[in-house]
Amino acid sequence: MPILVTGGAGYIGSHTCVELLNADYEIIVLDNLSNSKLEAINRVKEITGKDFKFYQCDLLSKDDLITIFKENKIDAVIHFAGLKAVGESVSIPLHYYHNNITGTLILCEVMEMFGVHKMVFSSSATVYGMQQCVPLHEELPVGATNPYGRTKLMIEEILSDVYVAKNNWSIALLRYFNPVGAHSSGMIGEDPNGIPNNLVPYISQVAVGKLPYLNVYGNDYQTNDGTGIRDYIHIVDLAVGHIKALERVMESQGINAYNLGTGNGYSVIEMIKAFEKASGREIPYEIIDRRPGDIGISYANASKANSELNWSAKKGLDDMCKDSWRWQLNNPNGYEKEKILDRNLKLTLM
C-alpha cells in the first residue's frame, strides 16, 4: 500500500516515516527541504533498514507533483508539508497563506486527477484559538489567532468542502498539541532553524550549552506554580497516531477531526525540572513578562481518538525528556554532518 508523505523529512514527518516502514507500508517521500534536512531521510533508512523513494519537490510545482503521481501508484497521502512558525507567520503572512494553502490546493487537485481520495492532514490545536475551557475537545468552536493557525483552519475548511462536493473522499484532520521528544535511537529528532520557537528544544539547547538561559514568559497564571500549562506529547506517540488515522481513512469515507494529546498538562517549571532530572544538568531561566495572547492552561481531550482510532499516548514525561536529551547530546548541531559528534560517543540513559 504505497503512501505519499509530504514534508516527510521534517520533525513529525520523519518519525511518521519510521512508524510507517515498521508497519510494512511502502512510502514515497516529498519535501522541499526548506525547513528540514536530507540527512533525516538517510537516518530513517538507517533506523528501519528499508529503502524508499525521495523527491526534493515543492507542492507549489504542480508539474513536479504530477510526475510523482505518474511514477508511483499512490493509495493515500499523509500531508505534513507547510511552514509552521507562529511568530514568522505574523511577520510574513502572505508567504504563509500562499505556501500552505496554495500548496494544499494543488495537492488536492493532483490527487483528484489520479483518483486518490484518502488523506491524513497535519493540522494543529492552534485552530482552537483563545479557548478558556479545558480540556479542549473537537466540538468546540474554532478560530485561530495567528496566520499560521489560520492556514491550518482554512485548510480544514477547504478539505471539508472537498468532501461535501465529492463524498468518496476520506480525510482525517489531526490536531496536534505539543510534540516533543525524539526517536529512542537518538538518530532523528527536532532540528529547528536558528533559535528554537518551542519550549523543549530551547531547554535542551540550554542544557547542552548552545544557549545561556531560558526565558519563562510569566509566572502569574492561575496554575500551581504560576507558569503556563500545556499538553506535551511524545513524537513517537504522535507518529503512531498517524498510522491509526491512516487505517481509519483506508477503510471508510468521511471527514473527521481528532485531537492528538495526552490529556495531561505540565507547567513550564515542571518541564524544566523534568529535563534537569533527565540531563543531570541545571537549566538556568529568567522570568519575564507574559507574551500577548498566551493563555494559562491548554490540554487535550483525546477520547475521540481513543474510541474511534484505538489510539492513546503511551509515553510519559520522563520518556519525552530522556529522548530529547539523547538526541540533543548526540547531535548538538542537529543534522549538520560535519559537526555531529561521533555516534560511538553516545550518552547511556537509564
The grid cell for 136 is 479542549
The grid cell for 139 is 466540538
Provide the 3-class DSSP secondary structure of residue 57: coil
CA distance 182 to 227: 25
Sign for the CA dihedral angle at 132, 137, 140, 145 comes to positive
Q: How far is CA 297 from its chain centroid?
A: 20
In terms of Cβ atoms closer than 10 Å to its own Cβ (0-12, 13-18, 19+), residue 337 is: exposed
CA distance 259 to 248: 15
Q: Which residues are catalytic?
A: 148
In terms of Cβ atoms closer than 10 Å to its own Cβ (0-12, 13-18, 19+), residue 63 is: exposed
In terms of Cβ atoms closer than 10 Å to its own Cβ (0-12, 13-18, 19+), residue 251 is: exposed
Kindly give the pairing relationship between strand 53-56 and strand 26-31.
parallel
Beta-ladder partners of 229: 267, 297
Q: What are the DSSP calls for 115-179, one per residue?
A: T--EEEEEEEGGGG-S--SSSB-TTS----SSHHHHHHHHHHHHHHHHHHH-TT-EEEEEEE-EE
CA distance 235 to 242: 11
